[in-house]
Structure 1
Amino acid sequence: MRKAAATAAGSGKQRFQFQGGIQFYKSRGQHILKNPLVVQSIVQKAGLKSTDIVLEIGPGTGNLTVKLLEVAKKVIAVELDPRMVLELQRRVQGTPQANHLQIIQGDVLKTELPYFDVCVANIPYQISSPLTFKLLSHRPLFRAAVIMFQKEFAMRLVAKPADPLYCRLSVNTQLLARVDHLLKVGKNNFRPPPKVDSSVVRIEPRNPLPPVSFKEWDGLVRLCFNRKNKTLGSIFRQKNVVQLVERNRKAVMANEDGMDVDDDGSKCQTKEMLLEILEKGKYLDKRSSKLTQDDFLTLLASFNKAGVHFSS
């Protein structure tokens, strides 16, 4: 299994000669997972069924792919590098597995993904966040994704309130999915070794999803985590926050009434309203870094009920 490139990188940089004459590029995140025990552990932890269609991102030369094909009904591999596509085709050519492998050559972030039951991926670090949310927006919902990330990114995904790594990424991901840490993978398990260690995470989309607008949710969470260690009272007293809420309020009212809303000096009233909502919910002196998912859901519902929105 190899970290596949999401975008083309400059040729000639950080090359590494590998078997078969194929050159790998650290600058593209290309690393071979050389430990077969780790590969087997990932397959086991994916919990595959014989009827499953598996989406593999960045198959590389196919170390993981062939193991997935032994268990799953079908593997759909998305690979950007045409050299890897040819190597993977050669590896399964003439075997019964060849009929169960579909290869899509392209950038996974720009590719319309087909139906799949489980995703298994060892991805380049630079696409971790956009790929995670692309998968979570995929429909129909898949059962699970087992993905290897840079260790710190993985720890942010699973972080809980009061954890130093708890952040907007943690809150947004955990709104949409259950996230569990499965396995630490040291950098020496790769050839060539990356600069940092990795971790394998299991992501299970929530079904049904919470009945909230993700844009509204993310708008609130973004504001809160801009200054995550300040009190919410301090955050919502800021002039730019009050102005944002006021603009959104006017935009919503204009859309509903079909007319412009005059600026009647209501910014002061908006500020008072925000602080009143926080005080009523006993959130005035609380900090974002210690709020739970339920806290954010309650807070968003209270704001929306009062006509306060975070995306116009």
Structure 2
Amino acid sequence: MAKPKFNHLDTHQQALVRLIEQCARRHRRHEVFRDFCELAALSISNRVDLLQYEAREARYLEIIQRYERAEVECFPRMLGCLVESLEGGHKDALGQIFEALQLSDHYRGQFFTPWEVSRLMAKMLFSGAASEIECKGFITVMEPAAGAVGMVIAAASALLDDGINYQQTMHATLIDIDATACQMAYLQLSLLHVPAIVIHGNALAPDAVGRHWVTPAHVMGLWDIGLRRRDREEAEREGETADTESESATMSTATTSLEPIAQHRAAIVTRRIAHSEQLDLFSS
């Protein structure tokens, strides 16, 4: 295999790659990259998502035990590099690193859409977003093959170019069959403060859905409530009959007309609202 070149990466991405290679003296690079994404995702999730805290804390400890102390100290430095890279401008920083490290062979031959292509597509698709936001309050984005989330980041960037604060006016729901891709997506959306739910599952097999991740922006913006309200309003506009005395009946009716990914989102939102522990974040 040809030696990978990193000249197209910014200085912070290159520093992150060097840290990965430093840890790869005892581990394979794709394993270090995978574990970095999962550890960082778990760390962020456990600051905002108490509903899944215990299982994710156990998973964090399981991963970290594979590494020596000096290697463990590299992981927060990797996260710092990623933060600084994204502060330099919206881009698919992890997707670019993934390609530069030539990791596709270890992840089912995955290749992510180049950032320039994602930007062009987003500029065309979201050219009329302002009028929809004015009418509905916010827009929702569905991504059935999340990858490293370049398209959603590009959508957020396109809104910013039009003077629109995506943190308040755009919510994304993403799904991917690969766990590492989900963690890459969750990590970058969290750092860019994009309200989102990332689902580990197969969009072509809607009944087989695994874990989900909610970004800090999703939790802090009370998007569970906003999304549930939107789903119910859309169901009512379509003439659906809802039992106002039964919350479960109301949500069951409201989700029947939704697309499969939106149905998963509605089910997740309903479960989350049913657990008061999540809402305790705002009452303490």
TM-score, normalised to structure 2, is: 0.32
Give TM-score, length-normalised by structure 1. 0.30
Work out which of the two has the higher radius of gyration on C-alpha atoms and give 1 or 2: 1
Structure having the higher helix fraction is: 2
Indicate the structure with greater strand content.
1
